[in-house]
Chains A and B, each alone.
Chain A
Amino acid sequence: MSKNIEFKSAVETSRKWDGESVAVELSSKIKNKLLNPNFILLFSTIHYENEFNKLLEKLNNFFPNVPIVGGTVPGFMNQDGCYTRGVTSLSIDSSAIDISVGIGHNTKNNPKKSALECTNMIKKNFTESNYSNKLLFILTSGTLVPSLLGTGVKRVYKSKIPISMISKLLKTSYKVSKKGVGREDIIFNEISNQMPDYSIIGGSSIDDNKLEKNYQFFNNEVFTNSVICLGINTNINLKLESQVAVEKTDKYFDVKLAGEKYIINKLDNKPATKTFFKHLNWPDSLMDERLHRRTFFYPILFEKENEIFPEVIGGLIGNNIVCGFDIKSDKLCIGRSSREILINSLNKSLNNISKSGIPNCGIIIYCSALLETLGRDFFKVQEILKKFFKDSPFLLIATGGEDFKIPEKIEKHSNETINMAAFLK
C-alpha cells in the first residue's frame, strides 16, 4: 500500500442484550479507532430479532451519514472471540475508497428483479469513481424451510409425494408464505452479469441454522427476503481466495432432476434417497430431522468449468433429495468433509494470501455447516486466524451458502467453502 494512503479498520463486538446498549457499545468502540468510517458492515445473530429496529435507529443516530448494511448470521469470529450470540461490525476509514450500497427486495419470488434493483442502486452512486480495484460484498436472504403439507416446518417427509405436487407446493410457498429455497444462485448470477468487472464475496443470511427466519439491514431499516450489497472501489490492493472444505470421493452418479433443478429425483436411474442411503450404508432410521447434521459430512458435489460446487442436502421428500440451489451437471459425486479437511483448506487459503502480501484487514465467509460440525473446535480456527492476522482486524461470518467470484472466472454459489477478501498493506 502506498504510504500516502490512509487506511484504518475496526472490527467490534457487543454481547449486550438490548439493541440500544449494543448500538452504544459498538459506536463507542468504532469511534475510538475511526474518525470517519466509510461504511459499517453489521451482523447479528437471531437472538436480537426484537431489538433490530432500536439497534439500527440508534446506530444511525451515531453515524448519520455512514451507510450501514448487513444482516443475520448464525455465528461470527474476530480478534475478540467466537460467538453464536452477539453483534459484530466491520468498518473502514480510508481516503482511498469510494462506497456505494444497494438493496433488492422480494428475492424468493422474483430473484432476477431483486438483483437488478440492487445493482442499479450500486451503479448510480459509482458513476464518478475512478479506482481500479473493485469489490462487491453481498448478503442475500437464505432458505426458509416451508411447511409444505401444513404439518409444521420439516426437512424430512417420508411419505411419497408426486413430483408434480412437490413443484406446485414449492411454487405456492414462494407466493403465499414467501418461504422456500433462497434462490441465491440466480440472484448471484444476475448480480455478476450486471457487475462483470467486480470481484464478489458474500453469502446467505440465515438464523441459527434452523432456517425459520432471517433479516437484512439497510441503514436504519430491517428487511427480509432481500439482498443487500456494499460496493467498494479502491486503489488499495485486494486479494481474494476461495477453497472448498470438501474432498471428492471416486463415486459418481448419473443424475435426473425433478421439475425444480435443485431436487434430485434419480441417481443412476434409481430412486435418489434410497440410492444415497445405500451408498453410505445408512439405515432408514437415520432418515429423521437430524439428517442435515450427518449430511454436512457427505455433501453432494457437481463440477462445472473446473470448479467444484458442494451442496449440502437440505431435506428429503419421499425418494427425492432436496438441495439448496440448482444443480448444473448431469453427474454428481458424493463428497467427504472432516475437521482435518476443513483446517487444511483454511491453511491453504492463508498461505495463498500471504504470497500476495500482508493483510491490513480481512473478511472471511465461512459455511454455517462447517461451524455446526466444528462446534467447540471453532475456537481452534480462531487461533489459526489470530496467528495469521496478528494485530490486523479480521471478521469471519458464518453464512448459509457462500458467494465468490473474481472477474473472468465463473461465479460460484455453493456450500462448505471458505472464502476470503483481504485488504493488503
Chain B
Amino acid sequence: MIMSDPIASVLDDLLKLDDILACMVARQNMISVMPTDGTDSFKPEINKIWDIIHRAMDDVFTVIREYSQAGLSEMEFRLQDYDALFFVFPDTENALVSIIPAMANKGLLEVEMENARRDILKFMN
C-alpha cells in the first residue's frame, strides 16, 4: 500500500525546482500519488500538453510492466519541447515520473529525482 501524504511532500519538494514542470508516482492507467495540490501545482506551461503526455506515459508503462521484474530501472521519451523521465521502483510497476523542458540540464535534475525516488522507497517499505 502506498502512503500518500509523506510521498506527496517529497513530490512537493521536487516541484520546487524550476525545471520540474510536473511530477507524480504513477503506474499504467493510474496516478498513484500526486503532489499535495494535484495538477494545480504543476507549472502552467504543461497544461497545453498534459493530455497527450499523459497518454504517452500510459504506453510507456506497458514496457515498464513487462520488464520491471527483469531489472528495467529507467525510461524516457521526448515529446515536442518536453522530456518525460521515468525512474522505476524496483520489482514494481510504479515509477516516479517527471516532466522537464527538453533544454533543461537533465543530469542535475536526475540527481534530485534519484533522491526523491530513494525517499519515496523508504515510505513504500
Contact = CB atoms under 8 A, between A and B. Distances in A.
A210 interface: yes
Interface string B90-125: 000000000000110111111111110000000000
Interface residues of B, number: 17
Nearest to A378: B111
Contacts of A81: 115
B55 interface: no
Interface string B54-90: 0000000000000000000010000000000001000
B108 A376 contact: no
Contact of A376 (B16, B102, B103, B111): B111
B108 A75 contact: yes
A120 B68 CA distance: 60
B116 to A, nearest CB: 10
Contacts of B111: 75, 82-84, 371, 375-376, 378-379
Nearest to B111: A84
Interface string A293-313: 100000000000000000000
A378 B111 CA distance: 7
Q: Is the interface of A mostly helix, strand, loop or mixed?
A: mixed
A375 B109 CA distance: 8
A374 B103 CA distance: 17
A84 B105 CA distance: 11
B1 interface: no
Nearest to A296: B107
Contacts of A25: none
B17 A375 contact: no
A372 B16 contact: no
A371 B112 CA distance: 12
A208 B108 contact: yes
Interface in A51-91: 74-75, 81-85
B107 to A, nearest CB: 4
A8 interface: no
Contacts of B110: 375-376
A376 B114 contact: yes
A33 interface: no
Contacts of A84: 108-109, 111-112
Interface string A118-141: 000000000000000000000000
Contacts of B103: 289-290
Contacts of B115: 81-83
A384 B74 CA distance: 22
Nearest to A210: B105
Residue of B74, B105, B114 with most chain A CB atoms under a 10 A cut-off: B105
A283 B109 CA distance: 28
Interface string A198-211: 00000000001110
A11 to B, nearest CB: 17
Residue of A85, A289, A374 with most chain B CB atoms under a 10 A cut-off: A85
Interface residues of A, number: 23
Contacts of A82: 111, 114-115
Contact of A371 (B16, B17, B108): B108
B67 to A, nearest CB: 18
A289 B105 CA distance: 11
A371 B102 CA distance: 18
Contact of B108 (A17, A289, A372): A372
B49 to A, nearest CB: 19
A17 B12 CA distance: 12
Nearest to A288: B103
A284 B115 CA distance: 37
Given A17-B16, A47-B16, A85-B17, A376 B113 contact: yes
Contacts of B108: 74-75, 84, 208-209, 371-372, 375
A360 B114 CA distance: 29
A290 B101 CA distance: 11
Nearest to B102: A290
Given A47-B17, A85-B17, A376-B74, A209 B105 contact: yes
Contacts of A27: none
Contacts of A208: 105, 108
21 contacts: A47-B17, A74-B105, A81-B115, A82-B115, A83-B111, A83-B112, A85-B17, A85-B112, A208-B105, A209-B105, A209-B108, A289-B103, A290-B102, A293-B106, A371-B107, A371-B111, A374-B107, A375-B106, A375-B107, A375-B110, A379-B114
Interface of B: 16-17, 74, 87, 102-103, 105-115
Interface of A: 17, 47, 74-75, 81-85, 208-210, 289-290, 293, 371-376, 378-379
Given A375-B111, A379-B114, 10 more contacts: A47-B17, A75-B111, A82-B111, A84-B108, A84-B111, A372-B106, A375-B108, A375-B110, A376-B87, A378-B107
